Every structure is written in C-alpha cells, then in structure tokens.
Copies of this chain bind each other. A is one copy, B any other.
Amino acid sequence: MDANIAKLSSYLAVHAPGIRLRPHAKTHKSPDIARRQIDAGAIGVCCQTVGEVEVMAAAGITDILLSNQIASSGKARRLAAAAARGRVTVCVDNPAQVKLLSEAAQARGVILHVLVELDVGGGRCGVSSSEDALSLAAMVTGSPGLSFDGLQAYHGRAQHMRSPADRKAAIASACGLAEAAVQMIKQAGLPCHSVTGAGTGSFVVEAASGIYTELQCGSYVFMDADYARNEREESSDIPVFAQSLTVLTTVISAPAPGRAVCDAGLKAMSLDSGPPSLARHAGVDFAGSSDEHSKLNLHPGTALSAGDRLHLIPGHCDPTVAMHDWILAHDGRVVADVWPVARGW
C-alpha cells in the first residue's frame, strides 16, 4: 500500500505537476491511510457520505470534498459543522440543494465551497448541459454562505472499461463536456477554478487533459481483483499498482479430495464486481460464496486442510472494507498497526 501511494505521487510530480491529488477516502474509510496519502502530497480527501466527512474532519484533515449531493437540512447542518474545522466542499445538481446549503452555512457562520456536478457520461447524478451548469453556478454565486469553486466531472463508468482505448475515448468525451461548461461559466463572468474527477482506471487521461485540475483516484491504494481485469496502458511510465488488501480466511472443512471450504463469505467480502482472486495460492479456484462460507476447488496435486489460512483479494475493495471494523496493517510478517474503519453512516 505504501508503494502504491508513493507511485501515484511520483508519477503526478513528473507528468502532471500542476494537478492536485485528492484521493477518495470511500475506498478505505480510514483517517490513518488518508494521512499517509496527504504526507505523500495529496491536498486532502474526497468523501462519499457526510459521516465520512465528519470522521475525516475530526481526525484533523482540513480539506475535504463530499463528491456527492445531500438532500436534507440535517445533513447540510452537519456539513456546516464540519466546515467550522476546515475547508469543506460539496456537490450540487439542483437548486433545492443550494438553498439547504446556504441556510446551513449562514446559520453556522461558515463558508461551504460548492461544485456543480456535471454528468460527463456516468448517467448518475449531475446536470446534463452547460446551460444548467451555468444556471446553478450563478445561483451558488449569489447565495450567502456559499463559494462557487467549479465542476465535479467524474466518469465512474469509464473506470472499469476493459480496454485503454475505450477508457481514453470516454474521458475525451468527458473533457469535451467539462470544457464547454467551463467556457460558458467563464464567459458569464464567473470564476471556475476547479474541475475535479478521475479514478484509478482513467486518471492518466484526465491528468494529461489540460481540463482537469484535480484527481480523485481512490482504489489505487488497495487495487482489487476487478481493476486487475482492466487491460493496462502501453506506456511504461504509467504506474502499475499492486494488490495490497486481502481478506484473511481459514479453511474450516476439506470434505472431499479436490474441495475445501473457508470461513469468509458474503458477509466478509462484496461479490458485486465478481469473485475474489487467490493470486498467492496456485491451484485453488474460487467456486462461490454463501453468508459465512466460500467453496474452493483444488487442482490435482493441491491439498488444503482445516486450519489452513488463505488470502483472498476482494473483487471490489470499497464495499468489502465497509464490512469490517479494522484494517490490520502488516509487512508480511508482523502486524504493525490496527486502523479503525469508519464503516457506519
């Protein structure tokens, strides 16, 4: 994990020195890991929930982006409270959110920084046109307690497209949409300093775009089995991140030759992006999970006994980490630290 953090920072220092790195903390939900990323040059973190913002702010992280929308006055007030400790930025894609945020910021006597989210291909949140982006930007600019900072332009779907060419084409399209919105906003006389987005699957493209000012890569710290299924870029400069997160499991049954059962199942790892891989264990194939079990098929010549331990590399790290209360940091030999996971809402 430390090597992954160092690799991304070094790559950006050489190839994209003007671009800020703001890693996504939804991957790890851990202030301890966030601090390591900041120590390596990140300017702060992204969060995906208000609860994550509160945990990161309480841990002393002073520049936090909630790369998401809120829809209640209670959550707006919680963000304003976090903004009393440091810089807090939040996304909007409709006028009601702007109103909630402005009221909460005024009541607390703080400034909330605001990005207008533009849908650049993800088909999730975000306004669909430059006109709508400008209209919301103007509303934010005119709202007491708020500062309009720019655009959230994250293309989530592009991250797991398998071919580099597809990812490049998707991000090129995102860049075109973001650039058009920035120009329209600037032509209306509003500043638009930030364009933030990108993930572990595509950041090389955003970093070289001239449009994005900030990158939100999160998964690079751990990598997961699904990202490993992406085909790599061709250039040898581009960092190859290692899989650093595993779920440690114990074989509880070896009921027949060629079969074993371990005690990590659906409650210990998320299968939403496919099965875990068993890179460290040749001759063992993953054959499916139930709540507290996974079945393993063994190649001829491979044997496992009850009590044997295996490392599973989760198909998708983010929801897997959120199932656990602790991350054990080890060097392959000794547990060096135990990091709490801010897993609740």
Q: Of the candidates B124, B292, B323, which one forms a contact with A323 in the assembled complex, judged by CB atoms under 8 Å apart?
A: B323
A266-B255 contact in complex given A250-B71, A291-B319, A295-B124, C-beta closer than 8 Å: no
A295-B26 contact in complex given A253-B69, A290-B156, C-beta closer than 8 Å: no
Query: A220: shortest Cβ distance to chain B, in Å?
Result: 16
Determine if A306 and B97 form an interchain contact, defined as CB atoms under 8 angstroms apart. Answer: yes
Considering the chains assembled together, what is the distance between the CA atoms of A253 and B70 in angstroms? 8
Q: Mark A109-151, 1 if CB is under 8 A from B, else 0.
A: 0000000000100011111100000000000000000000000
Determine if B291 and A253 form an interchain contact, defined as CB atoms under 8 angstroms apart. Answer: no
In the complex, chain B residues whose CB is within 8 Å of the CB of A124:
253, 255, 261, 290, 293, 295
Considering the chains assembled together, what is the distance between the CA atoms of A318 and B292 in angstroms? 10
Residue of B nearest to A256 (CB): B128
Q: Give the number of copies in the complex.
A: 2
Considering the chains assembled together, what is the distance between the CA atoms of A70 and B262 in angstroms? 10
Q: Mark A92-114, 1 if CB is under 8 A from B, else 0.
A: 01101100000000000000000
Residue of B nearest to A27 (CB): B291
Name A173-222 residues within 8 Å CB distance of B: none
Range class of the A interface residue count: 35 or more
In the complex, chain B residues whose CB is within 8 Å of the CB of A72:
250, 307
Q: Mark A248-283, 1 if CB is under 8 A from B, else 0.
A: 001111111001010100111011100000000000
Determine if A266 and B270 form an interchain contact, defined as CB atoms under 8 angstroms apart. Answer: yes
Q: Answer yes or no: A230 CB below 8 A from chain B CBs.
A: no
Q: Answer yes or no: A68 CB below 8 A from chain B CBs.
A: yes
In the complex, chain B residues whose CB is within 8 Å of the CB of A293:
68, 124-125
Determine if A93 and B255 form an interchain contact, defined as CB atoms under 8 angstroms apart. Answer: yes
In the complex, chain B residues whose CB is within 8 Å of the CB of A26:
291-292
Q: Answer yes or no: A325 CB below 8 A from chain B CBs.
A: yes
Residue of B nearest to A157 (CB): B290
Determine if A125 and B344 form an interchain contact, defined as CB atoms under 8 angstroms apart. Answer: no
Q: Of the candidates B128, B292, B295, which one forms a contact with A49 in the assembled complex, judged by CB atoms under 8 Å apart?
A: B292
Determine if B253 and A125 form an interchain contact, defined as CB atoms under 8 angstroms apart. Answer: yes
Residue of B nearest to A321 (CB): B267
In the complex, chain B residues whose CB is within 8 Å of the CB of A290:
124, 156
A125-B252 contact in complex given A97-B306, A306-B94, A307-B72, C-beta closer than 8 Å: yes
Determine if B93 and A253 form an interchain contact, defined as CB atoms under 8 angstroms apart. Answer: yes
Determine if A289 and B261 form an interchain contact, defined as CB atoms under 8 angstroms apart. Answer: no
Q: Answer yes or no: A316 CB below 8 A from chain B CBs.
A: yes
A68-B292 contact in complex given A97-B306, A125-B255, A322-B267, C-beta closer than 8 Å: yes
Considering the chains assembled together, what is the distance between the CA atoms of A123 and B255 in angstroms? 9
Q: Answer yes or no: A48 CB below 8 A from chain B CBs.
A: yes
Determine if A319 and B267 form an interchain contact, defined as CB atoms under 8 angstroms apart. Answer: yes
Determine if A255 and B128 form an interchain contact, defined as CB atoms under 8 angstroms apart. Answer: yes
User: Can you list 19 contacts pairing A with B, beta carbon distance less than 8 Å?
Assistant: A48-B291, A48-B292, A68-B293, A69-B306, A71-B250, A93-B255, A94-B253, A96-B307, A124-B255, A124-B261, A124-B290, A125-B252, A125-B253, A125-B261, A127-B255, A266-B272, A266-B319, A267-B318, A268-B345
